[in-house]
Amino acid sequence: MKRKALIPLIMLVIFPILAFGLLSWKIMNKDRKTMALLFHDLTQSQLAIVDRLIGQIFSEKEEQFLKSSRELKWNPTALREFNRKAWSLRQVFALEADGQRMFPPSDAERTRKEEAFLQRTQAVWDQFVSRTRPNEETSMANPPPEEESIFPGTKKPSGFMKVLPEESRGWFSWMSGTRISHIFWRRDNSGRVLGFELDSVRFLSDLIALLPATDFEMDTPENYRIRLLDAHGSPIYQWGKYEMEKLQDPLERLPLSPPLGNWNLEYYGPGLKESSGYMLIQWITLMTMACLFIGGLGYFLYREQNREMKSAEQRVNFVNQVSHELKTPLTNIRLYAELLESKLEQSGFEEGQDNKPRHYLNVITSESQRLSRLISNVLMFSKSRKDQLRFQPRTDSVDGIIFKSLEAFKPIMESKGVRIETHLSAENPVEVDPEIVEQILNNLFSNLEKYGASGKLMKIESLQNVNQTRVRVSDHGPGIPAKDRQSIFEPFYRVGSSLNEGVTGTGIGLSISRQLAHLHGGDLVLIETEKGACFELRLHTPIEEKAP
Amino acid sequence: MKPSRYFLSFILILTLFLQPPSQVFARQVQLDVNLGNPVVQAGIIQKTFLKISLKGYDVPLNEDRSPLNVAVVLDKSGSMKGEKLRRAKEAAIRAIEMLHSRDIVSVISYDSVVQVIVPATKLTDIYEITKKIRRIPADGSTALFAGVSKGAHEVRKFLSRNKINRVILLSDGQANIGPSSPQELGQLGSSLGREGISVTTIGLGLGYNEDLMTRLAGYSDGNHYFAQYAGDLEDIFRKEFDSALSVVAKELIVIIHCADGIRPLRLLGREGEILGRTVRVPLNQLSGGQEKFVILEVEVPPGHEGQKTNLASVDVSYRDLKSKREDSLNDSVFIEYTKSANKVEKFKDQRVMESAVEQTANEMSKDALRYMDSGNLSKAKEVLDESARFLKKNAQTLQSPALREMEQEMRQDVMELDDSNVNQKRKSMKARQFKRERQQMY
């Protein structure tokens, strides 16, 4: 009984939790994937902004050099003077239309700085010159040697290189020592070339100046570090609050646009790893809360139900105890009532005489019978609880048992105006436990008297097959409401309606009756009828032949 | 109405006349061009020193000075933890407290990343700035290059020819993120110097790279200090601010045009451009009372007795920070030939020779440093000893206490130098060499 109630209750708790857990996990997982995608897009675009910023510096320098190249006078003195002042330049130089170097001069005194320039560009000088020639510009007939860098500026004309019919310009990059050097050059329409060698260190400094600093004070949610790595993979600059581990891998990487094509931007951060752990924690918290809530609710319901059961059981226990105590005095009462009855007959009370003492006696008898029924029900129930019910068959006639039981109810039925109708055909002696059958019938009759007396009819039918006896007890009373038909066999279940108003009972009669029927190899069922209630008792009753 | 207008004009005229003779326009940087041997032996090719000395005029204390535009760049890497950083912060705060509200200050700190603690701002709320400086914590590695770049960027926001634009870098360690070789930092210094920003470097303790720090300062014409102990910092910061506050001239360019036949050989101490017979030396700034000089060694062709020719003419252009105008100076120097050795000796210019000896000895000290670097301590000592003897000899003939002092220094170096203190010695020698080379005020 308890288990039966417990299982749905557990289901009630577990299923919603499982469903909730699964659903929330799925949603969170999906969220995480979307987040990861968003994160990727976000960081990439963040890096792209930096890349654009760096590109912007290049184009700014380009603008600046273009402007200077248009204004500069074509003589060594002017170029030298320009060179002294232009702090973002390392060296300016000029080629005549025929490719001969005009500045730094070949045939005049040179400063040490100019000498140094000629020295460091010596290896790539011819390449550079041929790159700036009008006709050779697009041909890559002589690819540069391996140790020299390629020329992204001329290879990829994306913004850095525009070929005009007459004019031309571009970036020329090469490795000088450990650092990459850049030369911006412009050929004017007369074929003369001005070259500007960028001060690579100063360029880095300018780059750093423009890139963001790190702000630890501001309470921004962003927790990242972006690093700018040069062609050797060594960091040039980094910013962001995030403190990275020694050998941490970047979450995102973006190669810079030309002419810094082999430079990289790297994005470091806790990424979503931590947040997925955070998500798990979040999910567990949510689940725990759900478990607690639903479990608590389940426990509450379970306890409520249990308490009701317990109180009913306590009632029974109490009655059980009391019943044991009542059994002996009750037997005595019945014994003496019967003695008194026989005494009355002996002392010659005649019909028509003062009938009152007999009537009183009848009441005493019937009420004590009723009380003993109740007591035996209670005792039976507690026996069933302890699995102490015993089936003790004897040879007897079922009809006889019916008559015997009916006898006890006649007076009360009469007093309530209930007509007793019998159609009995189970008189054969069969293997039967009369005590059990009597107990069941008594319960059925007692119920009829209590709830169905308004129908003014008690109909009893009996039928006998080879091994089975069926007894039907029906009335024309209010019947049992459809919703209660299953439950009436449950212990302590009482149809909560006007039906039992003013009627008391323990609520164990039908339950114990059905159990007894089961014990007898049969069943007690409610039969559907048009009017009133109809119970059918089925009993396994082998015909007495072999028995002695 | 009418009388009052006359009265006003009268007052105006009166004030014009009564104004004390303005020194603002009269004041100039003082230029002196001298030869070590204005009279030389006739008939032979010989070398002599040409000294071009520039002296800033003194400025009364109460006079308005040019506003300062300074970025203080503090190393806050892990090695600065504790007393070092605390002292550095206090020193910076004390120095900033010397400034007034027209000055512009920014504070940058760096470890592996760079933080702009105080963006370039007029010094109106000094309390807020000092509060921010005091909050700087120490940890991480050393992105020195980035720190200087950011510092320069802050200065650049208010860059003006009429201001003293300066980055003051304090570091106790090696640069290890971004460009970190002395050569690269020198290149950066040179570029910043041309832009008008000088970088002063303060090396703290014995962990910093003195080559890097002196190059950065040297090429941008800033100052360099060696602070062996954090306790020295307050004094150094004060000196640095003092010297920055007393700058009277900027963007000084010295151009020496040697006469026909005169060959410029080398510049002692300073960087410059030698092109044929023209020598060009830029100096970023000059403080009031400070004397900076350029020493050029020249080769003089043989001449004959009694001949007196022009050796060189010198043009100096600069920007006067008081008048906020360009100004220029020029002078020329003659050389005379004689047969009399006595006369040569008699006309010898003691001060030029003193400077030349000082610079030569300084060069020798630098050589000693190179030997120290290659681990040859005994050779280094030998060179230092030689330089000390050279100084002693010249101190006697020139009767120069300055040279004697330098000799003592050298002797002390010889005495003290051993394996245990190479690092410390190297730093102090480097700082002294730097100061001598550039006539740093303190």
pLDDT of residue B104: 93
Distance (Å, whole) CA A251 – CA B397 = 72
B14 located within any domain: no
**Looking at the predicted structure, is the pLDDT value of residue B18 above 90?**
no
**Looking at the predicted structure, is the pLDDT value of residue A80 above 80?**
yes
Report the sign of the C-alpha dihedral through residues B355, B360, B364, B366, in that order: positive
- pLDDT band with cut points at 50, 70 and 90 for residue A166: low
Per-residue pLDDT, averaged over B247-258, amounts to 92
Per-residue pLDDT, averaged over B99-125, amounts to 89
Which CATH number do you get for residue B151?
Answer: 3.40.50.410
Distance (Å, whole) CA B221 – CA B226 = 16
Query: Would you call the peptide bond into B264 cis, given omega within 30 degrees of 0 as the criterion?
Result: no
Same domain, B106 and B254: no
Distance (Å, whole) CA B380 – CA B425 = 12
pLDDT of residue B385: 92
- What CATH code would you report for A389-540? 3.30.565.10
A423 backbone φψ class: left, alpha, beta (φ>0; ψ -120 to 50): beta
**Number of domains observed in the structure of chain B:** 3
Round the average pLDDT of chain A to a whole number and report it.
79
Q: How far is B212 from chain A (nearest CA, A)?
A: 14
Same domain, B117 and B217: yes
CA atoms within 13 A on the CB side of B288: 16
Lowest mean pLDDT among A86-90, A181-185, A274-278, B117-121: A274-278
Lowest mean pLDDT among A11-25, A194-208, B64-78: A11-25
Residue A276 phi/psi, 5-degree rounding, is -75, -35
Same domain, B285 and B262: yes
pLDDT of residue B169: 94
Q: How far is B385 from chain A (nearest CA, A)?
A: 32
Going by C-alpha positions, the residue among B286, B274, B342, B377 that lies closest to residue B37 is: B342
Same domain, B289 and B331: yes
Q: How far is B125 from chain A (nearest CA, A)?
A: 19
Lowest mean pLDDT among A282-286, A522-526, B34-38: A282-286
- pLDDT band with cut points at 50, 70 and 90 for residue A153: very low
Residues of B in contact with A225 (CB under 8 A): 113
Encoding tokens for residue A380?
């039976």
A351 or A13: which carries more pLDDT confidence?
A13
Which CATH number do you get for residue B270?
Answer: 2.60.40.3670
Same domain, B313 and B300: yes
Q: Where would I find the H helices in A138-272? A: 152-155, 200-210
pLDDT in tens, A440-496: 888 888 888 888 888 888 999 998 888 889 999 999 888 888 877 877 887 766 665
Q: Letter for the amino acid at B415?
A: M
Exposure string of B28-51, with b = 16+ CB inside 10 Å and e = fewer, is: bbebbbbbbbbbbbbeeebebbbb
B162 located within any domain: yes
CB atoms within 10 A of CB A477: 22
Going by C-alpha positions, the residue among B5, B117, B15, B35 that lies closest to residue B356 is: B35
pLDDT in tens, B353-374: 888 899 999 989 999 999 988 8
Distance (Å, whole) CA A369 – CA B413 = 131
pLDDT of residue A3: 60
Q: Where are the beta strands (DSSP E) in A139-208?
A: 168-176, 179-187, 193-198
Question: Is A199–B191 a contact, with Cβ atoms under 8 angstroms apart?
Answer: yes
Which of B308, B339, B370 is the C-terminal boundary of a domain? B339
B228 located within any domain: yes
pLDDT of residue A504: 54
pLDDT of residue A151: 43
| DSSP β-bridge partners for residue A89 | A198
Q: How far is A237 from chain B (nearest CA, A)?
A: 6
pLDDT in tens, B86-95: 888 988 998 8
Same domain, B150 and B239: yes
Encoding tokens for residue A176?
């000088």
Tell me if chain A has a CB within 8 Å of the CB of B27.
no
Q: Is A177 exposed, middle or buried (0-12, 13-18, 19+ CB in 10 A)?
A: exposed
Which of B210, B245, B280 is the C-terminal boundary of a domain? B245
- pLDDT band with cut points at 50, 70 and 90 for residue A509: confident
Q: Where are the beta strands (DSSP E) in B237-347?
A: 247-258, 263-268, 273-275, 278-287, 291-300, 308-320, 325-338
Per-residue pLDDT, averaged over B277-300, amounts to 90
Same domain, B130 and B221: yes
Distance (Å, whole) CA B88 – CA B424 = 20
DSSP class per residue in B52-65:
EEEEBPP--TTS--
ipTM of the complex: 0.81
Q: Are B78 and B138 in contact (CB under 8 A)?
A: yes
Encoding tokens for residue A2?
């308890």
Per-residue pLDDT, averaged over B60-71, amounts to 82
Cβ pairs A/B, distance under 8 A: 91
pLDDT of residue A164: 44
pLDDT of residue A221: 63
pLDDT of residue B134: 86
Distance (Å, whole) CA B230 – CA A543 = 119
Report the sign of the C-alpha dihedral through residues A173, A176, A179, A185, in that order: negative
Tell me the CATH architecture of domain A58-206: 2-Layer Sandwich (3.30)
pLDDT of residue B263: 92
Domain boundaries, chain A: 58-206, 389-540
Locus of tokens 């210094």: B189
Same domain, B234 and B253: no
pLDDT of residue B166: 93
pLDDT of residue B439: 85
Domain limits at B230? 68-245
B87 located within any domain: yes
Residues 139 through 178 of chain B touching chain A, CB cutoff 8 Å: 143, 145-146, 148-150, 152-153, 156, 177-178
pLDDT of residue A353: 61
**Looking at the predicted structure, is the pLDDT value of residue A150 above 60?**
no
pLDDT of residue A84: 86
pLDDT of residue A136: 45
**Looking at the predicted structure, is the pLDDT value of residue A141 above 80?**
no
Per-residue pLDDT, averaged over B227-239, amounts to 89
Contacts 24+ apart (CB under 8 A), A404-409: A404/A438, A405/A438, A405/A441, A405/A442, A405/A445, A406/A441, A406/A445, A406/A460, A408/A366, A408/A369, A408/A442, A409/A366, A409/A445, A409/A446, A409/A449
Q: Are A228 and A265 in contact (CB under 8 A)?
A: yes
Per-residue pLDDT, averaged over A292-307, amounts to 85
Same domain, B366 and B423: yes
pLDDT of residue A217: 67
Which of B339, B370, B389 is the C-terminal boundary of a domain? B339
Distance (Å, whole) CA A150 – CA A170 = 13
pLDDT of residue B335: 92
Per-residue pLDDT, averaged over B328-333, amounts to 92
**Looking at the predicted structure, is the pLDDT value of residue B21 above 80?**
no
Same domain, B393 and B317: no
Q: To the nearest whole percent, how much of chain B has pLDDT over 70?
A: 94
Same domain, B292 and B394: no
Question: Is A213–B192 a contact, with Cβ atoms under 8 angstroms apart?
Answer: no
Q: Letter for the amino acid at A14?
A: I
B133 located within any domain: yes
pLDDT of residue B168: 94
Distance (Å, whole) CA B40 – CA B340 = 9
Same domain, B181 and B45: no
Question: In whole angstroms, how far apart are CA A358 and each of A404, A405, A539, B48, B117?
Answer: 20, 20, 37, 166, 116
**Looking at the predicted structure, is the pLDDT value of residue B150 above 90?**
yes
Residues 232 through 291 of chain A touching chain B, CB cutoff 8 Å: 235-240
A341 backbone φψ class: left, alpha, beta (φ>0; ψ -120 to 50): alpha
